[in-house]
Structure 1
Amino acid sequence: MSLPTELIHHPYRPPADFEAVAPGVHKASTVIFPSVAAMRERDWKDKSAYTYGLHGTPTTFTLEERIATLEGGRHCVLAPSGLSAIALVDMALLRAGDELLIPDNAYGPGKAFAEGELAAWGIRHRFYDPMDPADLAAQLTASTRLVWLEVPGSVTLEYPDLPALVEVVRQANERFGYGQGHQRIVTALDNTWGAGIAFCAFEAGVDISMQALTKYPSGGADVLMGSVVTRDESLHRRLLLTHMRLGLGVGANDAELVLRGLPSLALRYHAQDATARALAAWMQRQPKVARVFHPALPGSPGHEHWKRHARAAACLFSVVFQPDIPAERVDAFCDRLQRFRLGYSWAGPISLCVPYDIPSMRTTPWPHAPRLVRFAVGLEAQEDLQADLAQALQVLD
C-alpha cells in the first residue's frame, strides 16, 4: 500500500473507553457504513444510528438531548440561528391559506419573516396584544394554525399571563372541534429569555419551546444557533422532516461551544439577573428616567404575572427617559457609555445597550416617549456598571 493511501486508510483505531469532562467533537459530512445492509437499514429519524453529517453526529445528538432536558421537553432539533429556528416552526406547521398570530411586541425579525416570506406563500398573519388574552381570543379563527408567544416581550419586556394565553388557545381548539391532528392550533413560545431557567414552558402548557442558543446556552457571544423543543412526538416528526428538507445543519465546533457553555448557564443566568435587578431599581430612581421596564420590578407591565409564574428574570431591562429629552440626547447618552457597549444580542460576558424607536416597531400605539434604550447586563461588577450609567446620565443635564 502506498504511503498516501495508508495515511487515509490507516488500520489504527483508538481505544473506545475514553471519557472526559468535555464531550467529543465529531465532524462529518460522510458517515462510513460497515455494509450495504447497514446502509439500507439505518434510519436517521430516531437517533438510533448515523447516516450523514447533516442528520446528526454524536456531538449534535448530545447537545440536542441536553437542550431537551434544559427545557423539560423530550425532542430537540438544532438550527443555525434563533431566527432560523422560528422560520423552521413556521414552515413546518403552516400552509397556504393558514393563519398565524404573533404578539405585537415579538422579536422583530420573526415578524418580518411573516410579513415577507410567509405572506408571499399565501399564509396570513395578524398581531395581537399579548397583555390582553381577550384580544387573542377575539382574533383566533378556524384558519388559525399557529400562535406565537413571547415571554417577556422583545425590547419592551412586558410580561404576559402565559398560562392564560395558552388556555385561550386550548379553548379555541375545543370550540372548533380540533383534536390532536394537523388541524389543531399549536402554541410556540420564544423562550430565549427564560432559557429553561426562569420557568418550564411545558408546565405552562405550550406545545413548542424555541430558543436562540446564541444567547444564554452559549454565553460567549461567539456562536449562532437555535433550538426547537417539544414533548409531542407527532409535532417533532413534522419539525424533523422540514428540518431535513431545508438542510438546517449546525457545525460540530459550534455545537461544542454551546456544550461548553451549558454547565455554567444557571450560574451566569442568576448572576446577571441579580445585577440587572439592582441596576434597574437604581435607574428607576434617577430624575431623568420616566419608566423602567423589568419583569421583576414592581410597576413594570406584567410584574404580577412574573411573580406567579417565574423563578428568575434574566439580564435585560429597558429605560424610557423623560419626554422633554430629545432623541438625539438619548443617542448621546448611549454614545457616552463605556462599559455598556453598543451592540445587538445579549447574555454574553459584555454589557450592551441599544436605542430603539418603539412606534416604528408596533402596530398599536406606544404611550411613552418614542426612544427607548434596552440594556443587557454582562458579567462585569455591578458597581462598575452603575458608575458607567451615572457618568453617561450627565449628558442629559
Structure 2
Amino acid sequence: MKRDTRLIHSGQPRRSDDLVNPPVERASTVVAPSTAELYNPTPPRRHYGRGGLSPNTELREAIAGLYEADHVALAPSGLASVILALRTALPDTPAGMQALITDSAYGPVRRFCDEELPRYGVTPVYYDPRLGGEIATLLDTPTALILLESPGSLTFEVQDIPAIAAAARKAGVATVIDDTWSAGILMNPLELGVDYAAQALTKYAGGHSDFLMGSVAAKDEAAVRLKTKDVLFGGHVSPDDAYLCLRGLRTLSLRIERSGASGLAIAKALEAHPKVSRVLHPGLESHPDHALFKNQFNGVSGCFAFVLDGVEARESEAMAEACDLFRLGFSWGGYESLILPCDRQIRRTAVDWKAEGALLRLSVGLEDADDLWADLAQALG
C-alpha cells in the first residue's frame, strides 16, 4: 500500500466489535489467569500497562507503517524522543569518543549534548550542516554517533542525508535524525540510510496543539537495540494522548499538504516584499539547498523563516506582536499559525550565523492563505 493508505489502515484495532477507533484503555495492572501467562503472556495479552495498551499499541503500529520501521518507541515529548534516540545510538562503552552534532540542532537538544554527553565521557563536536559526505574527514577520531536535523528548525539548512549516512555506515557509526519538519510524510530518513528517526509528534502528527509526545523509529539491528532500550528506560505515554495522536495521523497528509501549499505561497510573497532580504524556505528556488531538497523530499511543510532587511531583533519582535492571526508561540505544525522571533535562540559554534537583519520563523496553519498574508503585510507595514 502507498503511504497515505497505510496511514489510514495501519494501527486499526484488532477486535471483534467492529470499532473503527481503538478504545482508550487506562490501566497499570493487567491480571493474568496463571503464573505462566503473568510472566510470558500469549499475544495479544499484555503483562503490564507500561508496555502499552490500546491505543498505544495501535499508535506504534501506525508510525511503524509510516516509516516502514521494525520498532517504534514512544516518548513523552519531542525532546525526549531525540534524547532517547541519542542514548540508544551511544555505544555501550563510549568514553573517549566524540559525537558529531549538526550546528543547526534544536536548542534544547544542543543543551543536552553540551551538558549530558560529557557525563558519558563523550565530547560533542559541532559540524557545518552543509558538510555532506565530507563528514568522513571527521570520522578519523573515534565517533559515538552523528546527529542530523534537516532542515534545521531555525535556519533551514538541508543536509545531504544519504551522503552522511553512507559515510557513517562505512565507519560503523550510528546516525540519528530529528525528522520533525517532514513528519515522516515528506521524507523517510530510514530509506536514506539513517539508523534512528525521531520526531516530535506534538507538531504535525498531532496537529491540534493539545498534547506533547515524540517517537523514535528504526529498522533491522537498530530496531532490536531500540526495543531493548525502550524497555530499559521505562518510557510511557498516556493512552488519552496516544488516542489523540493516532487520530491526528489519519489526517496528517491532508493537513501538511494544505499547510505546505499556503506556506509556499506566503514565502513567495515575502520574497517579493521590500522589507525582506531573504526567505529561508527550501522549497524556493532561491534557497541554496533547493536542488538537494528536491532530491530527498516529496513536498514542503508550512514551517520556514525569513530575514528582515536591516531590522534589529527588538524591532522584529514589535512586528511579530503586531500580527493578529499569526500568534506568538513556540512549536509548529498545529492548525493555528504562529510567528516566532528567533534571534534569542540561535547558538552556533561551527559556522557563524550571519544575516542582514532579524530572523523570524513562521508556522503556517490551516487558515485561508490570503487572510494570513494580509495579516503579515499589515504587520510589516
Q: 2:193 aligns with which of 165, 186, 205?
A: 205
Structural mapping, 1:106-255, within 5 Å: 106-133=105-132, 135-171=134-170, 173=171, 184-232=172-220, 234-255=221-242
Question: Aligned residue for 1:83?
Answer: 79
Question: Aligned residue for 1:22?
Answer: 21
Q: Which letter does structure 2 place at the counterpart of 1:150?
A: E
Q: Deviations over 1:7-52 (max 9, x none)?
A: xxxxxxxxx6212222221111111111112113238xxx754111
The verdict on how the C-alpha distance between 1:360 and 1:308 changes in structure 2, with shifts beyond 3 A counting, is: closer
Q: What CA distance in whole angstroms lies between the structure 2 residues aligned with 1:168 and 1:193?
A: 23
Shift of 1:135: 4.8
Question: Aligned residue for 1:67?
Answer: 63
Relative to the length of structure 2, the TM-score reads 0.91
Q: Deviations over 1:143-168 (max 9, x none)?
A: 21211111111211111222222222
Q: What CA distance in whole angstroms lies between the structure 1 residues aligned with 2:190 and 2:89?
A: 19
Q: What CA distance in whole angstroms lies between the structure 1 residues aligned with 2:242 and 2:278?
A: 39
The verdict on how the C-alpha distance between 1:41 and 1:123 changes in structure 2, with shifts beyond 3 A counting, is: same
Q: Deviations over 1:327-372 (max 9, x none)?
A: 2211110110110000000110110011111784111212213521
Q: Which letter does structure 1 place at the counterpart of 2:196?
A: I
Q: What CA distance in whole angstroms lies between the structure 2 residues aligned with 1:134 and 1:240?
A: 29
Contact 2:71–2:226 (8 Å) recurs in 1: no
Shift of 1:190: 1.1
Contact 2:107–2:345 (8 Å) recurs in 1: no
Shift of 1:118: 1.5
Percent identity, aligned pairs only, is 40
Q: Deviations over 1:60-116 (max 9, x none)?
A: 111001001112222111111111111112222323333211110111111110101
Q: What CA distance in whole angstroms lies between the structure 2 residues aligned with 1:69 and 1:21?
A: 18
Question: Aligned residue for 1:57?
Answer: 53
Question: Aligned residue for 1:9?
Answer: none
Contact 2:75–2:236 (8 Å) recurs in 1: yes
CA RMSD of aligned residues (A): 1.7
Deviates more, 1:99-108 or 1:366-375: 366-375
Shift of 1:302: 0.7
Question: Aligned residue for 2:7?
Answer: none
Which of the two has higher C-alpha Rg? 1
Q: Which letter does structure 2 place at the counterpart of 1:57?
A: L
1:350 aligns with 2:350: no
Shift of 1:260: 0.9
Q: What CA distance in whole angstroms lies between the structure 1 residues aligned with 2:74 and 2:284?
A: 34
The verdict on how the C-alpha distance between 1:340 and 1:143 changes in structure 2, with shifts beyond 3 A counting, is: same
Q: What CA distance in whole angstroms lies between the structure 2 residues aligned with 1:119 and 1:370?
A: 35
Q: What CA distance in whole angstroms lies between the structure 2 residues aligned with 1:229 and 1:291?
A: 34
Ranges in structure 2 where 5+ consecutive residues have no aligned partner: 1-14
Contact 1:129–1:135 (8 Å) recurs in 2: no
